[in-house]
Amino acid sequence: MTLASHLKKQGLANNTRTKYESIIAQVGDRDPVSWLENRLSSKTPIGTVLPLRAAVKHYLLSEGYSEDDIGMMLPKAKGRPSGVRDSLTPDQLATYFLAAEEREEPVRTILLLLPRTGMRISEVCNLRTENLVRHGGVLGLMFRGKGDTERFVPLSTAAQKVLRSYMDEYAPDGWLFEGRAGPITPHAVRMHTRAMRENHPELGELSPHTLRHTFATQLLRVGTDVRRVQALMGHKNIETTARYLHPDAAMLRDAVEELE
């Protein structure tokens, strides 16, 4: 089985498949395990190490190796732990929403939805009009997320208002957010977040993924339990969710103030 066929069968997102194929293309005719070993270092960010290891693992699976064999062949992932990714503070989020309002459609609506839904940028960009449904009497988005698993994200009152306003004005049919040839691409949206970051340095390292962290932090701020956060974020493992749940400076300050 080719690597491309294997990755598609695994239900991986298009961006993930493209990334893994690009990594394996760098291996060329070299032994992939040796190639990987030469790139592992305690100084390399773990966020860089893990995709390299995952790509080689999938390549070996496509070549017919078993999970057990691969577990013994591949070196353990080692690297420098990633730093804590800051989410936007309430004041930064207010600035962000004002800046997002100035963007052209459909980017404006996408940017307004990201911190209100916690969805991955690829998930939002690939929404279709039929993904907007009522589930158990709750209006939200039902779609196939990471790992090709079905996921439901309820829409808050504010998110519903944003999306309804967009749909009433543009009446999309098929892809919810049209691009030049098919759905709008994550790259097109990231171009806007980079521009917003340049125009508003106070937003820090703004990116679609920062907005996903912001959503999780907001849930933590209002006391949402971790299992519900896990479901809303679409994580298979609660350990993944835990990486998103770090109190921001304001929350730590409030905790100290409660001692007074």
Q: Which of 151, 192, 212, 213 is catalytic?
A: 212
Q: Is 221 a catalytic residue?
A: no
CB-based contact 36:26 (threshold 8 Å): no
**Is 235 tagged catalytic?**
yes
> Does the annotation count 236 as an active-site position?
no
Q: Which of 120, 151, 192, 213 is catalytic?
A: 120
Q: Is residue 170 flagged as an active site residue?
A: no
Look up tokens 């503070």; give the residue.
89
Whether residue 80 lies in the annotated active site? no
Exactly one of 200, 209, 221, 246 is catalytic; which is it? Answer: 209
| 64, burial (CB in 10 Å: exposed 0-12, middle 13-18, buried 19+) | exposed
* 246 catalytically annotated: no
Q: What does the chain look like in DSSP terms, one character per residue?
A: --HHHHHHHTT--HHHHHHHHHHHHHHTTS-HHHHHHTT--TTSBHHHHHHHHHHHHHHHHHTT--HHHHHHHSPPP--BPPPPPPPPPHHHHHHHHHHHHTSPTTHHHHHHHHHHH---HHHHHT-BGGGEEEETTEEEEEEE-GGG-EEEEEPPHHHHHHHHHHHHHH---SBSSB-SSSBPPHHHHHHHHHHHHHH-GGG-S--HHHHHHHHHHHHHHTT--HHHHHHHHT-SSHHHHHHH----HHHHHHHHHTT-
Catalytic site residue from 39, 108, 144, 146: 146
242-251 in b/e form (b: 16+ CB < 10 A) is eebbbebeee
Q: Which residues are catalytic?
A: 120, 146, 209, 212, 235, 244
